[in-house]
Amino acid sequence: MTRSITALMAGVSTLALGLPAYAADDYFIGVLSAQSGYLAPYDQPSLAGFRFCVDEINADGGINGTTPIRLDVRDTRSDTAETIKAAQELLDRSVRFIVSPADGDPTTAVGQLTVDEGIPTMTFAGTAPVLTQVGEYVFGSYPADNLQATVTAQYARELGFKTAYIVKSPDAAYTMGGPEYFAEVFTREGGEIVGESLYSLNQPDFSAIVTTIKSVNPQPDVVMTSAWEPDFPAFIKALRGAGVTSQVIGSDVLDTPTIRGLGSVVDGVIHASGGFAEEGSQHADFNARFLEATGQKADNNYYVNGCDIAYMIKTAVETAGTDDPSAVRDALASIENGDGIMSDYTFAGTERMPIRSVVVARIEDGEKIFIRRTTPDAADVPAP
């Protein structure tokens, strides 16, 4: 046994020597991205979009047109222990910036390390608003759960909906937090929550919850949930099958081709979304460029958000005028109305979770229909 381990060690050291050495004339970014496991559906498109735009930046000479960006990408397998180990390796290799996976646990764990080392860190698409509380160097990039819920709750009230029923799952911060923030804003704006149900992630059968909703009299105007796949499809089919016709409102996880492909059951469903590729917009232009270059359709917002992260970092380094990590952090934290492709973003005055516009969209005939784009007032957004 010892012999085989020695052999393996020898093999690894040979390979380690084959890796490129550190060059000082570039900007070195470490990327922690789950290529398998529960985070892969978010991290894979985020990484693809990020890489694509880093390549674009480098094609123009890099940051300031002079300093190319160099990447070291590590797979975390959606495992927090692996993520920490990989993050420490990246810090050993003197990265200047770290991009972390799209979830709170690994990002918080990485943040503890990077805050100590003073290396700015940005999560791919983590939306839990508490995520950046770990320290001054940790940034979000995507519109947070409370931001999304504020926008949909306000829209629901504007449409005149008075009562809402929420369906949430304590198994994830996202599926629990979204409906709770929604309930908070909806109530504050004069609406009433008439009931709530809990479900488990990957629960195969929603008939009990649907029966409870069906028994509410009068029927709620709105049923709100942050359920994702496969729970949302199972839920909406059971709900519509039971004849409940209440308006269903969901979160940005519904912004996928598979949800839109569910047919008539999802017709009329309203959901929040990080962005919308309006005709002639930068977003639409990105999608076209991405399709042309990779042959792959950017069919959710994580691609374009990944791209935005590349440009956010570029802007921060250029504004700071140096690659010094603390100067870059300060520059990033003070960006106001930064020019984003998915949407503009503001870090100034936030707890490093950006204020960005949130799109409200409706599904009709398998298409995502743009309703409106709002940037909520910071005072209206519930505290994390």
Partner 1 sequence: MTNATADRSVNRPDRTASPFAVHGTRLALIILVVLIAALGLEAVFGRTGERIATQMCVSIAAIAALAIFSGNSGIISFGHAAFMALGAYTSGILTSPAGIQRSLLPDLPTALAGWEMSIPMANIASLLVGLLFAAITGLALLRLKDASATIATLGILIIVHSVLIGARHITKGSQTFYGQPRITTFEVALLLALVMVALAYLFRESRWGLALRAVRDDETAAETLGVNARRARAIAWILSGALAAVVGAYYGHMLGAFSPKEFYFTLTFSLVAMLVIGGLTTVSGAVGGVLVVTALQDSLRQIEGGFTISGIEVPAFFGMTTVALGLLILAVIYFRPEGLFGNRELRLPVLERALVHIAPAREAAATPQHRAPGGADLVIEGLTKTFVGLTATDDLSFTIAAGRITGLIGPNGAGKSTLVNMLTGQYAPTAGTMRYGAIKLSDVASYGIAGMGIARTFQNIRLFHRLTVRENVLVAAQAAGHRGAKAEAIVVRELTAMGLQDIVSAEASSLSYGAGRKVEIARCLAMDPAILLLDEPAAGMNPDETRELGVQLLRIAAERGVGMLLIEHDLEFVNALCTHIIVLNRGKKIAEGTPAEIGGHPAVVEAYMGRARARRDNVQLTQQEITT
In the complex, the residues that contact partner 1 under the rule CB under 8 A are 1-2, 4-6, 8-9, 11-13, 15-16, 18-20, 35-37, 72-75, 77-82, 84-86, 88-89, 92, 104-106, 108-109, 111-113, 128, 130-131, 133-134, 170-173, 176-177
Least separation, in Å, of the C-beta of 170 and partner 1? 5
Cα separation, 193 vs 198, in Å, equals: 14
Place of tokens 């839920």: 235
Q: What is the 3-state secondary structure (H, E, C) of the chain?
A: CHHHHHHHHHHHHHHHHHCCCCCCCCEEEEEEECCCCCCHHHHHHHHHHHHHHHHHHHHCCCECCCECEEEEEEECCCCHHHHHHHHHHHHHCCCCEEEECCCHHHHHHHHHHHHHHCCCEEECCCCCHHHHHHCCCEECCCCCHHHHHHHHHHHHHHCCCCEEEEEECCCCHHHHHHHHHHHHHHHHCCCEEEEEEECCCCCCCCHHHHHHHHCCCCCCCEEEECCCCCHHHHHHHHHHHCCCCCEEEECHHHCCHHHHCCHHHHCCCEEEECCCCCCCCHHHHHHHHHHHHHCCCCCCHHHHHHHHHHHHHHHHHHHHCCCCHHHHHHHHHCCCCECCCCCCEECCCCCCCCEECEEEEEEECCEEEEEEEECCCHHHCCCC
> By C-beta, is 3 or 190 nearer to partner 1?
3
Q: How many residues does the chain have?
A: 384
Place of tokens 């149900």: 197
Least separation, in Å, of the C-beta of 159 and partner 1? 31
Least separation, in Å, of the C-beta of 47 and partner 1? 9
> By C-beta, is 177 or 220 nearer to partner 1?
177
Contact 144, 206 (CB under 8 A): no
> By C-beta, is 111 or 120 nearer to partner 1?
111
> By C-beta, is 123 or 273 nearer to partner 1?
123
Least separation, in Å, of the C-beta of 171 and partner 1? 6
Least separation, in Å, of the C-beta of 4 and partner 1? 7
> By C-beta, is 129 or 191 nearer to partner 1?
129
Least separation, in Å, of the C-beta of 134 and partner 1? 7
> By C-beta, is 26 or 79 nearer to partner 1?
79
> By C-beta, is 108 or 350 nearer to partner 1?
108
> By C-beta, is 366 or 384 nearer to partner 1?
384
Least separation, in Å, of the C-beta of 81 and partner 1? 6
> By C-beta, is 130 or 156 nearer to partner 1?
130
Least separation, in Å, of the C-beta of 15 and partner 1? 5
Least separation, in Å, of the C-beta of 371 and partner 1? 30
